[in-house]
Structure 1
Amino acid sequence: MKKVFTTGAALLLTTSIASAGGIERSVPSVGLLYEDGTYLELNFGYVSPEISGTQALTLSATSTEGTKSGNMVEDYTQLSLGYKQDLSDTLSMALIFDQPAGADVAYPADTDYVYAGAEASVDTNAFTALVNYKLQNSMNLYGGVRAISTSGEVELPFVPGGGYEMTTSTETDFGYVIGAGWERPEIAARVSLTYHSEVTHDFDSDETLGGSTASTEFSTTIPQSVTLEAQTGVAADTLVFGSIRWVDWSEFDITPPNFEGASGSLVDYEDDTITYNVGVGRRFNDTWSGALTLGHEPTVGGFAGNLGPTDGNTALGTAVTYTAGNMKITGGVRYIWIGDAETEAPAAFPVPEGTTLAEFEDNNAIAAGLRIAYNF
């Protein structure tokens, strides 16, 4: 059943990217804390999204209602590493590197869409150190420190007065992780509840507006989250598993001061998100096992941001694990139906507040993941 554990956890981790709210790209699972002995894993993911919309109002003689945006987001890759080691019969530690959030916005420049040529990127790297303590009643308590390094930049040609550009410093700040788990290995049962605290960055930024560049400062919070993960055996060599994740995205806001005076917030979210995943894993023999997963994030309604025009999703995934001695290799793929969204015309445009700028419909993404894991 350990082989089935690995398959399910790997699929949820390596191919869940690009299917969560806000700018979230990966969710560090605490599953490696339950691996035997010394354990090392490498995860690689590739995501190919297709997100395009249609302008809903006329703003000029060329930028008219019905103008297509073209695909406004680029393909991207993800990398994560995990290492776990026992320190005693009751104490273990883990180190995790991941890239928890990101954005790669690039509206095609060869259209008449109002955001044509707009670009934005957010890059993050996170290091987490955890300590896990096993109690006598099948319970375990874990916690640790998480450091997140973040930077970003944006270019918006449509802003009156010559466009707008902004770049930030790279800031590294700290949060914490706490959680508790319960397991019954003889029936392949496990439940864990994990809390990640918010991490606040104070950025130095260079803003260029109307041909004039100024050095400014602003703060952005990577939001807190709670993740519930569970699994249990239901028959010989068969496992069901799932997770529920809440993220406080209503606290996320990117508002550089000079841009705020011209057009409000660059990025903000009115609602939190809850993401659900369920799956079933099956060991076929000592070498091969596989899994299927279904994920869903409900829509929240209202306007979505022009730099992230999506609202909820549904995802179907599959994975296969090959076991050779102490090594396990898992490959997974996930197809994601991205929820339809409407975006609002920014304050810089001469239209009433609450006017729909564009409608984004029938979009999707394909995510593929590979995990190589080794028990020493």
Structure 2
Amino acid sequence: MTFNKKTATIFLAAGGFLAVQAPAFAGGLERGGYNIDLLFDPSSVAAEAATTYVAPQRELKNVVDDPALVAAPPGARPGGNLNGLPNTADDSESYWTTRLGIKGGVENADCMFDYSQPWGAHLKPGRNWAGANQNIETKVNSRNYALTCSYRFDAGPGQLRLIGGAFYQEVYGFKERLVQDLTGIPPILTGGRNGIGRLDLEGDGWGWRAGVAYEIPEYALRASLVYNSEVKLDDITGTLNLSQVPLPLPNGGILPVFGSQAMPDSLELKVQSGIAPDWLAFGSVKWTDWSQLQRVTFGCSVPGAPTLCGPGIVATSLDLGYRDGWTVSGGIGHKFNEQWSGAVSLTWDRGTSQGYGTQTDTWTLGTGVSYAPTKNVEFRLAGVLGLLTSGSSGTVTIDGATVGNDVHYDFDNDLVAAISSSVKVKF
């Protein structure tokens, strides 16, 4: 079975549309992830702008503060006894991601520059819940600037494409939690402090990608395998702000901190092929090395605080305890006429949490439409409805340290919804 040239071109360019149709709520810190589908557009020049809005609805229940320390005296209980606060909380915040790209091609060579936001997180259960000494608000953002090129040549009935590129990445964010509950203590004794500590961090690094793709336009067939390297954030810097905690600390309780961590590498296989006139099947499998994010520790070096800052001392940490992520997706696309196309997909994402945190398996159903009023402009709109599966979070051991014993909670099956839109201009 073969396609006419116009249909084959539309379907081989469909990778970008099919990617837009399934905005993800994936495991780890993934948001937009990496996307190089614009590189395959057959036009000499193509530019694309896409934005995605994701609204997860993760609700925590049966929250118990410090379950292993209930009988301990007040002075021995970090954060105080918060079991008088609500035992439910809304743990999730909606978010936007943006991707911009421009691609140019000459004969058999193509290059693409793009800006994206691959990683992120935003949890905000707030101060008024029984787990406030684990988290009040955590927010992570990222910026990624990439240059990716490919060279293609004839091989058998189709063309083989070699892919390579590099990217520069910035990751930054903060976390706030209740260090000590000062409820009921006269302000004259606390100095008007609220007992909340804040950790601010930022880091940057470089990565690279390499891959291969094979295309047979007559069958609208493409198979690609792309590896994205880890990004080593060797010099993460920031501050641990304990100025709102009534402790005798130097620098007014504002302590410079430092650490290191690598953002994960990934490997993704994508396949698409025509299966009947004007019909296309597609699928993908992606592995992400989230297991390297376990317990991210930070030290500090401040004179006058030997028990908190010094060689080998962990001043604070971000406890994640992730396992590797797997994402499997498949779907069908259909070209209705010269202007309209549509697709539907089903995606499974394996949860990265292992008894600590809320990242369980996710199932999402995505649909999307593409409208091309002229041969040079294309608009896309897609939506997703998904299921976040149930689970619980409690005490676990990460890198030899006990974490999660500050609060236990459960969560039921919850929903996630998302919508994406994009516009592509090509010549």
Normalised by the length of structure 1, the TM-score is: 0.89
Q: Taking structure 1 as reference, are residues 156 and 20 closer, same or farther at Cα in structure 2, changes over 3 Å only?
A: same
CA distance in 1, matches of 2:204, 2:315: 28
Matches within 5 A, 1:354-369: 357-369=408-420
Find out whether 1:274 has 2:329 as its counterpart: no
CA distance in 1, matches of 2:153, 2:39: 14
Q: Shift of residue 29 of structure 1?
A: 2.5
Identity over aligned pairs, percent: 24
Q: Which residue of 2 aligns with 1:285?
A: 337
SS at match of 1:55: strand
- Give, as a single letter, the amino acid of the residue that structure 1 aligns with 2:38: L
Q: 2:381 aligns with which of 324, 331, 335?
A: 331
Q: Shift of residue 131 of structure 1?
A: 1.3
SS at match of 1:303: coil
Q: Which moved more, 1:172-181 or 1:6-15?
A: 6-15
Name the larger-Rg structure.
Answer: 2
Is the CA contact 2:355–2:396 (under 8 Å) kept in the aligned structure 1? Answer: no
Q: Taking structure 1 as reference, are residues 149 and 130 closer, same or farther at Cα in structure 2, changes over 3 Å only?
A: same
Q: Which residue of 2 aligns with 1:27?
A: 33
Q: 2:126 aligns with which of 85, 92, 108?
A: 108
List 4+ stretches of structure 1 deviating above 6 A.
258-264
Q: Which residue of 1 aligns with 2:139?
A: 121
CA distance in 1, matches of 2:152, 2:241: 54
Q: Which residue of 1 aligns with 2:228?
A: 196
Q: Taking structure 1 as reference, are residues 143 and 318 closer, same or farther at Cα in structure 2, changes over 3 Å only?
A: same
- Give, as a single letter, the amino acid of the residue that structure 1 aligns with 2:215: E
Q: Which residue of 2 aligns with 1:257?
A: 299
CA distance in 2, matches of 1:109, 1:64: 13
Q: Shift of residue 344 of structure 1?
A: 2.2
Q: Taking structure 1 as reference, are residues 284 and 174 closer, same or farther at Cα in structure 2, changes over 3 Å only?
A: same
Q: Taking structure 1 as reference, are residues 296 and 145 closer, same or farther at Cα in structure 2, changes over 3 Å only?
A: same
Deviations 1:200-229 (A, max 9, x none): 112112113445221121012111000111
CA distance in 2, matches of 1:180, 1:117: 43
Deviations 1:11-65 (A, max 9, x none): 4246333x21101001333222221121111101111111111135354797449
**Structure 1: where are the runs of 5+ without partners?**
none
Find out whether 1:146 has 2:162 as its counterpart: no
Find out whether 1:295 has 2:347 as its counterpart: yes
Q: 1:213 aligns with which of 244, 247, 254?
A: 254
Find out whether 1:48 has 2:55 as its counterpart: yes
SS at match of 2:48: strand
CA distance in 1, matches of 2:389, 2:275: 33
Find out whether 1:310 has 2:359 as its counterpart: yes
SS at match of 1:12: helix
Is the CA contact 1:121–1:154 (under 8 Å) kept in the aligned structure 2? Answer: yes
SS at match of 2:291: helix
CA distance in 2, matches of 1:8, 1:280: 12
Q: Which residue of 2 aligns with 1:372?
A: 423
Normalised by the length of structure 2, the TM-score is: 0.79
Q: Taking structure 1 as reference, are residues 257 and 239 closer, same or farther at Cα in structure 2, changes over 3 Å only?
A: same
Q: Taking structure 1 as reference, are residues 51 and 294 closer, same or farther at Cα in structure 2, changes over 3 Å only?
A: same
Is the CA contact 1:304–1:311 (under 8 Å) kept in the aligned structure 2? Answer: no
Q: Which residue of 1 aligns with 2:73?
A: none
**Structure 2: where are the runs of 5+ without partners?**
1-6, 71-79, 183-194, 248-252, 301-307
SS at match of 2:89: coil
Deviations 1:256-289 (A, max 9, x none): 2379968974232341011011110000111111
Q: 1:130 aligns with which of 148, 151, 171?
A: 148
Task: Give the superposed CA RMSD.
Answer: 2.7
Deviations 1:323-369 (A, max 9, x none): 1111110100001211223222589xxxx877571112222211100
